[in-house]
Structure 1
Amino acid sequence: MFSLFKKEVLYPWAEGASIYETIRSKIDERGRLQDDKLPDDESYWEGRPLRWVAGGLDGALGHHAGGGKDEEKVTETLRLLAHLSRKPNLKTRRAAYLKLMQADVLSVIDPLLEALRHAPGLNAQNLYNEALWLTEKGAHRNVIKFGIALLGQFETEHHRELILTLGRHDEFTLYSAVAIQNSLNAPNAALFELVQAVNGWGKIQLVERLEPETQEMKDWLLRKGCQNSVMYEYLAYICALKGELHVALTADEVDEALYNGAGDILSALTHGGPAEDMDDYEHAPAVIGNYLRLSRTMCKDVSQLTVILNLLDWLKQDAKPWEKRLSKGWAEETRGQYREMAENIITAEGWAEKVWTALRSGDDRQRYCSIRAAKALGLDIWEELFEQLRLSPMNGSLIFELMRTDNEQRVRKLVSFAEESLPLTDIASGPADEMGLGLGYEAHSALDFLVQELDRYPGVGRKLIATALHSPVVRNRNMALKALEAWPLADWEESLAAAVNRLAEIEPVSDVKETIAEMMKDKKF
């Protein structure tokens, strides 16, 4: 018999390598994943306007949006899985696999699992065997996520290695964490093993679920638990609370790892953001006091100084937030003492030299901290940053800092450099509806940091604005229009007026088109 179909059409899991085997092959001797590329990356993200970091889509939806419930999808998926459990063969496996490939996992996973638990006529052993197969052999991430979730419904150690291996990839850590809690013996120990192997959204999911049963776990939470590649703010409060920071910092002396970890936690708490912050932390007065006490002898480098600066800024906030704080355990006298302690550390001799050393270290974190410290100390580092930009002309963070000046001559110098060094012709490929994030958009991002400040400098950077008007990235065009709106019409010159007229005709985004029309009406041209 001749087959009219390619193998991967009949059996979609043959489209690529097993995700489990791919991940397992990339784990180093420390148990960490060496890179997070997955076999289905290109097919999964094709046609999507934005490619999320591993675990980012599920993480953001889980933290900032409620899960949906699509009853039609749940019913159809339940039917296919039930059929697969009763008659496991290639035909029923293929039907279920194709459905799971296409499913929006977070929108149906909870109601689907609930429905499975009450489904009549389900063969549990067959379903478990198929879940094992899907999780181990699947070549598509949604199938793997469902497979892990299904395994989590069965209390057995048999799949321990499988879900811990997959959990080392941030895309699957959330699902592995839930499965670990639901199905394994000593789940906390397994979560602790896994959390030390991830650093992105997966770490956030695991720290949130970890219950520190031992001192080792508490010590780790305070020293390494908060740091992640997404935002420290997600985990700062949790680590402070679960790790008992208020107890740890009462010691007369602490090790440097604890001091630095506490600094990361406190800095994140001062920033606020997506999770609980300093105002939610009941031990804040005592912890800040002990940290400042320890800082008298332990604050030695610029990154540590940055923590003191963040605390001082928080202590110096205006009266409104402090009205509430003074009613919740703070005293004005304590606040004043802490401000004085922080200021004494900041004004100590020797910081200027350390700032210059850190600024020239070549380390991104050290540079960030040195910029922060230089502002507080009144050091003029603009020319040094400009020289660093010469070596990396599309470094958006450098451009952002350099444009934060009120010195027009410096802005003109930077604009002139950008006009010569950025690939303006490539950027001006024509207006489209692009978000301009990720790889391939570094030049567009650099242009954005320049143009967004040009509204303060009429007549400066016309070439950059003209380029932004022809960029496919929507924000580039919006920032160019923002600048032109602020400029007197006399500073536009004919070329920019012509460019705006042309854009009014071809602009593909309705909101931007309306902005152009309103501006043309206001400017009367």
Structure 2
Amino acid sequence: MNKKPIFEIIADRLRKTEFKDDDIITLGKDFSLPNDEEGLKYIDGAKDGICAYHMGVAEITKKDIEEINTVITFANKGDYDQADSVLEKLCERIRVINFIDELQDCILARKDEIEDKFYIYSLHLMTQSANIECVKVGMIIQELFKQSDEVKGMVRTLGLSDEFTLYSVFIMRNWENGNTEIMNIAKSVNGWGKVHAVHYIEPDTEEIKYWLLTGAVSNGVMPAYSGWDCYKKADVEAILKKDRLTYEELEGVLSIVDAILDEGPVLGISNIENPKEILSAVLNHSIKHLPLSSENCKVISNILDWQKENLVDENCEIELLANQIFEAGRR
């Protein structure tokens, strides 16, 4: 069983990795947190991702609320060992993602009695706990406070793990230039953390909008999870109204379109009122950049497959445009 603080495991990995000045700070795709669970092993962040996208809200009982308040009481007195003991048992029954609101509501309901020791307890959980779920509780508590530069550094460090990116994003949303912070952390992760960051980021600058178009949809889980978010936030429909796209813009559009065509995990293209017109516009822009790469031609093939399954009774120009692209690739 892991007894080393989770924060130290992440910090140690960073200390052992050499970064150049222009490198993106990352834990690496081979990094994973200690997992003592028996049976099926989940990648970092997967359980929270599955809860967020595929499971309903868990029922929180009166007993659960009582235990949350017990943790607050012990922590507020500085009795961290007792608080940890109760919290760890609570987290064994319920994943933290399922009682975020209840925890914060309990804290806010008692805000007049909250002492500095309670704030310090959140830092204790973030930096000293060897329990993954308890670290998240510390971060959820931090969301209710203002962070010093030192604590912001802790939040960024934890956010480099896909298991904690979501909780870092919750905190970063309250920072000045928070969306830029979220974009930066999203560039440092490639799994569920990136999926969550893309979902919560707001495209409030042109830099963020361009990244959402060209670099946000790909991830190590399934691009489909981020497809619709990228389509809306990058404003793909407005981009398609341009006379001509750069090749990088076109590749971004094709990647996003490919993601929304795959509606296995979440809805994508079904959200669009005029999919035929949108896909035709994508193909017309693609024709202006012939010949396409084999990877981009695969997206065109997926568009054609979608047309054959969903527009079977129409005399659709999609097939004509797709065949024109394929013919250019055969020359």
TM-score, structure 1 normalization: 0.57
Deviation at 1:290, TM superposition (A): 2.8
Q: What aligned pairs does 1:170-189 form with structure 2 within 5 A after superposition?
A: 170-181=162-173, 183-189=174-180
Does the C-alpha gap of structure 1 residues 205 and 278 become closer, same or farther in structure 2, counting only changes over 3 Å? same
Q: Which residue of the partner structure matches residue 300 of structure 1?
A: 292
Distance between the aligned counterparts of 1:313 and 1:243, measured in 2?
25
CA contact (8 A) 1:221 1:243 kept: yes
**Would the aligned equivalents of 1:67 and 1:106 in 2 still touch at CA under 8 Å?**
no
Q: Where does residue 45 of structure 2 map in the other structure?
A: 55
How far apart, in 2, do the equivalents of 1:125 and 1:282 lie?
A: 53
Structure-to-structure mapping, 1:420-435, within 5 angstroms: none
Partner of 1:37: 32
Q: CA deviation at 1:319?
A: 5.6
Query: What amino acid is aligned across from residue 199 of structure 2 in structure 1?
Result: E
Q: Which protein is bigger by CA-based radius of gyration?
A: 1
1:160 aligns with 2:152: yes
Decide whether aligned partners of structure 1 residues 16 and 349 sit closer, same or farther in structure 2, where only a CA change above 3 A counts: closer
CA RMSD of aligned residues (A): 2.4
- Answering whether residue 12 of structure 2 is matched by residue 25 of structure 1, we say yes
Distance 1:157 1:309, change over 3 A: same
- Structure 2: tracts of 5 or more residues without a match: none
The aligned residue for residue 305 of structure 2 is 313
1:494-524 Cα offsets, whole Å, 9 max, x none, are: xxxxxxxxxxxxxxxxxxxxxxxxxxxxxxx
Among residues 78, 83, 92, which one is paired with 1:102 in the alignment? 92
* One-letter code aligned to 1:23: I
Query: What is the match of residue 322 of structure 2?
Result: 342
**In 2: Cα distance, 1:235 partner to 1:63 partner:** 11
- 1:442 aligns to what? none
**Could you tell me which amino acid in structure 1 is paired with residue 307 of structure 2?**
L
Instruction: Show the 5 A alignment for 1:220-259.
Output: 220-259=211-250
Residue identity in the other structure for 2:31: D
**Is 1:16–2:3 an aligned residue pair?**
yes
| Cα separation, 2, equivalents of 1:283 and 1:196 | 32
Q: Distance in 2 between matches of 1:318 and 1:249?
A: 22
The letter of the residue matching 2:69 is: L
Write the letter of the residue equivalent to 2:320: E
Matched with 1:193 is 184
Q: What is the rounded CA distance, in whole Å, between the counterparts of 2:260 and 2:87 in structure 1? A: 44
**1:23/1:165 contact within 8 Å kept:** yes
Show the counterpart of 1:434: none
Displacement, 1:250?
3.2
Pair 1:286–1:349, CA change in 2 (3 A): closer
Runs (4 or more) in structure 1 with deviation over 6 Å come to none
**Larger relative contact order (C-alpha < 8 A, sep ≥ 6)?**
2
Q: Distance in 2 between matches of 1:129 and 1:26?
A: 25
Could you report, residue by residue, the CA deviation over 1:108-165 in whole angstroms, capped at 9, with x for unpaired residues? 2321221121137632421111101110111110110111111111133442111121
- 1:92 and 2:82 aligned: yes
Structure 1 stretch displaced more, 200-209 or 94-103: 94-103
- Contact 1:269–1:277 under 8 Å retained in 2: yes
Q: Which residue identity lines up with residue 83 of structure 1 in the other structure?
A: F
1:197, CA displacement in angstroms? 1.1
SS in 2 for 1:66: coil
Q: Deviations over 1:411-450 (max 9, x none)?
A: xxxxxxxxxxxxxxxxxxxxxxxxxxxxxxxxxxxxxxxx
Match of 2:269 among 258, 262, 278: 278
Instruction: Give the distance between the partners of 2:281 and 2:307, measured in 1 at CA.
Output: 15
Q: C-alpha distance in 1, partners of 2:262/2:80? A: 54
Question: Which residue is equivalent to 1:267?
Answer: 258
TM-score, normalising length: structure 2: 0.87
Distance 1:302 1:345 in 2: 11
* Residue 201 to residue 220, structure 1, CA distance change in 2 (3 Å): same
Residue number in structure 2 paired with 1:125: 116
Q: Tell me, in whole angstroms, the C-alpha distance in 2 between the residues paired with 1:216 and 1:77.
A: 41
Q: Matched residues in 2 for 1:82 and 1:103: separation? A: 20
Deviations 1:289-347 (A, max 9, x none): 23212322344222111111111111222568x7xxxxxxxxx56xx222211112223
Closer/same/farther in 2, CA of residues 76 and 244 from structure 1, 3 Å limit: same
1:505-524 map, 5 Å: none
The AA in structure 1 aligned to 2:32 is: K
- Per-residue CA deviation, residues 448-503 of structure 1 (Å, 9 max, x unaligned), is xxxxxxxxxxxxxxxxxxxxxxxxxxxxxxxxxxxxxxxxxxxxxxxxxxxxxxxx
What are the residue-to-residue correspondences of 1:304-383 with 2, within 5 Å? 304-317=296-309, 332=314, 336-348=316-328, 350=330
Q: For residues 73-84 of structure 1, what are the structure 2 equivalents within 5 Å? A: 73-84=64-75
Report the CA distance between 1:235 and its aligned residue.
Answer: 1.1
